[in-house]
């Protein structure tokens, strides 16, 4: 399974510094335990060489910025069609989610909050379900928007904006249906650190265990940007990649991430590029 981040070049921003993590980062929302992976091994050797490093998490795949004074993030993705892995139990619900958020790397913000929003997907006995949600973690569990309907193939744009370290807004738009929803946080605790921004596919946890992870094919984040030091950063070539690996075998890559760079020069058909990108990776998907 593939998650790809598309960024636009060239864009040079003065006063914005993207630092290399001093230590190997750890993903937020992880709990000890969880099911062993049932996915086959494949190599992530084709992950983008233009990034400064690829890290492995047992619950995340995607990209993140390690910086300072980051107060906003946006990204657009298409909701995938989930499927149960080979040999799955028909009575088990296999799930996953895609989201964007702030301060999701735990050792960058060890005692702080995580502000995020996205879409969950699940499949059980061939029946799929989807839900849009927002969350200030660990102060609350996922909260669901009742006025947003989500289906496979829908284009979703999520924008997170911190108005302070204890408040902000989550906006989610279903571009396919025109539905949109907003939630505003105030006086939340723990406070944000405003030091990282993330575009993530996650094997989320319920209680102290990861849910059984669904096959999802591929997810591509487009239209990505972050607000860093008051300036919009949409050149993500300094972002770090995260691959999801099995808890029992770190060489078993469950979901690999890549960075696709598109030049600003000339004209291009964004739909064609998106289709070509997915097609080129089709033989690597599970």
Sorted by sequence, the CB contacts under 8 Å of residue 202 that are 6+ apart come out as: 27, 29, 59, 60, 61, 96, 97, 98, 99
What burial letters (b/e) apply to 63-91, b meaning 16+ CB within 10 Å?
bbbbbeebbbbbbbbbbbebbbbeebeee
* 202 a catalytic residue: yes
Tell me how many helices (H) and strands (E) the chain has: 1, 18
User: Which of the following is catalytic: 140, 198, 202, 209?
Assistant: 202
> Cα(156)–Cα(77) distance, rounded to whole angstroms?
5
The beta strand positions in 208-279, using DSSP E, are 209-210, 218-228, 231-233, 240-245, 253-263
Whole-Å CA distances, 56 to 59, 92, 200: 9, 26, 13
Please, which residues bridge with residue 214 across strands? none
Count of other CB atoms within 10 angstroms of residue 131 = 17
CB of 48 within 8 A of CB of 234? Answer: no
Please, which residues bridge with residue 94 across strands? 123
> Cα(175)–Cα(266) distance, rounded to whole angstroms?
26
> Cα(90)–Cα(110) distance, rounded to whole angstroms?
38
Strands 54-57 and 240-245: parallel
Positions annotated as catalytic residues are 202
């Amino acid at each position: 399974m593939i998650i790809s981040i598309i960024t636009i070049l060239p864009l040079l921003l003065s006063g914005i510094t993207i630092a290399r993590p001093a230590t190997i980062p750890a993903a937020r929302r992880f709990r000890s335990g969880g099911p062993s992976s049932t996915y086959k091994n494949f190599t992530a050797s084709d992950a983008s060489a233009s990034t400064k490093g690829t890290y492995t998490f047992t619950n995340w795949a995607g990209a993140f910025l390690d910086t300072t004074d980051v107060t906003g993030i946006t990204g657009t993705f298409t909701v995938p069609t989930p499927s149960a892995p080979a040999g799955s139990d028909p009575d088990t619900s296999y799930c996953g989610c895609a989201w964007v958020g702030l301060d999701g790397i735990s050792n960058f913000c060890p005692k702080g909050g995580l502000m995020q929003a996205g879409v969950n997907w699940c499949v059980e006995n061939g029946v799929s379900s989807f839900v849009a949600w927002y969350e200030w973690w660990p102060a609350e569990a996922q909260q669901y928007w009742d006025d947003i309907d989500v289906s496979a193939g829908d284009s979703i744009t999520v924008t997170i904006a911190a108005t302070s370290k204890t408040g902000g807004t989550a906006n989610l738009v279903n571009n396919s249906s025109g539905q949109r929803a907003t939630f505003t946080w105030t006086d939340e605790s723990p406070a944000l650190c405003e030091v990282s921004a993330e575009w993530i596919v996650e094997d989320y946890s319920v209680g102290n265990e990861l849910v059984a992870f669904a096959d999802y094919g591929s997810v591509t984040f487009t239209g990505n940007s972050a607000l860093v030091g008051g300036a919009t950063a949409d050149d993500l070539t300094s972002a770090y990649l995260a691959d999801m690996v099995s808890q029992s075998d770190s060489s078993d890559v469950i979901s690999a991430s890549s960075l696709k760079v598109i030049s600003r020069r000339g004209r291009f058909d964004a739909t064609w590029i998106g289709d070509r990108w997915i097609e080129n990776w089709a033989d690597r998907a599970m």
